[in-house]
Structure 1
Amino acid sequence: MRILVLGSTGFLGGHVAGQLRTLAGVRVLGGGRSVNPGLPVNLPVDLAAISVAGLVRALRALAPDAVVNCAGAVSGDPVRMAETNARGPAVLCEALREAAPGARLVHLGSAAEYGPTPAGQTLTESSPVSPQGTYGATKLAGSYAVTEAGATGLDTVVLRVFNPVGPGAPAASLSGRLAGELRSAGPDGTVRVGDLSAYRDFVDVRDVARAAVLAATATGPLPPVLNIGSGTATCARDLASELARAAGFQGRIEERGAGSQRSSAVSWQRADVTAAAVALDWRPELTLADSLTGLWAEHTRVPA
């Protein structure tokens, strides 16, 4: 089985590709804006810019049985996010329709597509979507492109990923940014952050990767959208405290300012992951403590 992982050098894509490489009978093909020397075949491609015709030629040459799209832009200017998160999946679907119509497309969406929900509410795949900001809106547009392609003949599934944490978490994420601040502050320093009162569903990136692997290799049709989260809402303040414990940090974490705009607009999220359990026999296995211990262990191995 030949599986193409787009965004294979990123946070999510790297873990997906790594897990796929452990499977017998699977050949992993890496694709993205930067090449992955650890993969046997690389497809240098930028979904934000490539034409449908150009991607058709590349896909025909690779002949994948499945594609896992982990490519995405979480920050930057609105044009780049729109090109990557919205245009990219649409181009990919059109190219697959022509070059590999039998291939399964597993697209990694985002919980940011849901937007604000009342405190205490659990989000199912049928919950209303009302994204706040460019990131959530562009991710939702990309997911719409994938689900509409699935409704018209392609074999697709959107994994709506909640807040991934764990080894390799990027600096743009809350956990990655905190890890960097804790390392800079030293064991007894002071870390200053914004408001940490928002509740999020934090899920280990390795559990997310396992869900993507199961979706890519499953037989038979899958639901159009599946939530991938821990099923638990955790206060960001508790995440910071747990990461401080993992780091042996004895200093102070001071909350100053309002925090991010999204945190103030979306103060609560929790996933219902029942559908993923039914469709994929998937359940989260790693705890938040596991995630943050792994993050800190890897973070301290990276030179300053």
Structure 2
Amino acid sequence: MRILVLGATGFLGRHTASRLRALPGAHVRVAGRAPAAGPPSGPAPAELPPVDLAAADPGRLAALLREAAPDVVVNCAGAVGGSAVTLTAVNARGPAVLCEALSAAAPDARLVHLGSAAEYGPAEARLPVGEGAPARPLGLYGASKLAGTLAVTGSGLDAVVLRVFNPVGPGAPAASLPGRLAAELRRAGPDDRVRTGDLSAHRDFVDPRDVAEAVALAVTAPRPLPAVLNIGSGTARPVRDVAEGLLRAAGFTGPVGDRVAEDGDGSPRSAAVPWQQADITAAGRTLDWVPRHSFTESLTDLWAATAPATEPVP
């Protein structure tokens, strides 16, 4: 099976490419906006030239796809921050260009695209959100991801959108709250407090390795698949638990408030979407997928992954 992973240099893309390489009989090629880290002599043989879907020409991308001749394309490319131009180009235009190029060059290939829980917007009361819930994104990020989802589901391709909730685990970027908290707690002195906004909003956190496993199952699943599948833990927990879990992983046993001050500027989305939890029934039924990594394990591994080469004894 020939698998092409786009966005392979990103947080979820790296975990996904690693998992797909372990599939029996899989030949995985990767591409990102920048070359992946490789040996000094050059990129790994399975790496394609850099691909930036936000600026790609559909014809040139189709030519690359013809050369790669993939059986499956996995699109992990996405932007969680930046200007309006960046968000719409990467999250909305990118999937549309990819679908057009795939339709021309590899119309029988399966497309697995990573969407976002931000596409849903506020939940009805405190109920798990299923794939049939109305999409009512509140900000440009969610709206741009929804536009990308609509491009994929309306393409006529053999495609599925895995709507990922809040990924947390090793490699979490500084643009995410878990990644930023881990980095700031690493830098903080013994008497310093890290400032955040209010951490009382509830979110559904899922490990990136569980996301990668869902991708692998979607890649190999018999046809057809539903248009959209939720990928989360199925549990809503206070964002404050992220701070507490990281502190416990660091060996700190005191009150969270001694090291984290919630008196900074908060996220507007936290106030507008105070509670969100995925209904993951469909993913379990369709893919036989369940999350395997515990929340504690995700945070412990995130903390360990941020350690410097030589870490002082606490």
Give the TM-score normalised by the residue count of structure 2: 0.93
Cα shift readout 1:49-92 (whole Å, capped 9, x = no counterpart)? 01110110000000010011000010000001100000000000
Report which of the two has the higher share of strand: 1
Report the equivalent of 2:275. Answer: 268
Structure 2: distance between partners of 1:145 and 1:93: 7
Structure 2: distance between partners of 1:282 and 1:302: 35
Report the equivalent of 1:217. Answer: 220
Mapped pair 1:101 → 2:107: yes
Q: CA deviation at 1:295?
A: 0.3
Q: CA deviation at 1:268?
A: 0.7
Picking from 52, 56, 76, the partner of 2:82 is: 76
Structure 2: distance between partners of 1:64 and 1:276: 24
Q: CA deviation at 1:257?
A: 3.6
Mapped pair 1:295 → 2:302: yes
Structure 1: distance between partners of 2:264 and 2:122: 21
Q: CA deviation at 1:23?
A: 1.8
Q: Which amino acid aligns with 1:233?
A: A
Structure 1: distance between partners of 2:207 and 2:250: 18
Q: Which amino acid aligns with 1:15?
A: H
Contact kept? 1:64, 1:103, Cα under 8 Å = yes
Contact kept? 1:47, 1:88, Cα under 8 Å = yes
Contact kept? 1:118, 1:268, Cα under 8 Å = no
Structure 1: distance between partners of 2:307 and 2:101: 41
Measured on the aligned residues, the alpha-carbon RMSD in Å equals 1.5
Q: CA deviation at 1:39?
A: 6.1
Structure 1: distance between partners of 2:309 and 2:131: 38
- Equivalenced residues, count: 301
Report the equivalent of 2:134. Answer: 128
Q: CA deviation at 1:12?
A: 0.2
Ranges in structure 1 where 5+ consecutive residues have no aligned partner: none
Q: CA deviation at 1:186?
A: 3.6
Contact kept? 1:115, 1:131, Cα under 8 Å = yes
Q: Which amino acid aligns with 2:84?
A: P
Report the equivalent of 2:172. Answer: 169
Q: Which amino acid aligns with 2:15?
A: H
Secondary structure of the corresponding residue to residue 136 of structure 2: coil
Change beyond 3 A, Cα 1:49–1:136 = same
Percent identical: 62
Structure 2: distance between partners of 1:92 and 1:186: 46
Q: CA deviation at 1:43?
A: 3.2
Contact kept? 2:195, 2:264, Cα under 8 Å = no
Structure 2: distance between partners of 1:105 and 1:167: 26
Structure 2: distance between partners of 1:302 and 1:71: 29
Secondary structure of the corresponding residue to residue 154 of structure 2: helix
Report the equivalent of 2:41. Answer: none
Structure 2: distance between partners of 1:290 and 1:252: 21
Q: Which amino acid aligns with 1:19?
A: R
Contact kept? 1:3, 1:27, Cα under 8 Å = yes
Cα shift readout 1:239-260 (whole Å, capped 9, x = no counterpart)? 2111110112354211014511
Contact kept? 2:123, 2:276, Cα under 8 Å = yes
Structure 2: distance between partners of 1:14 and 1:86: 21
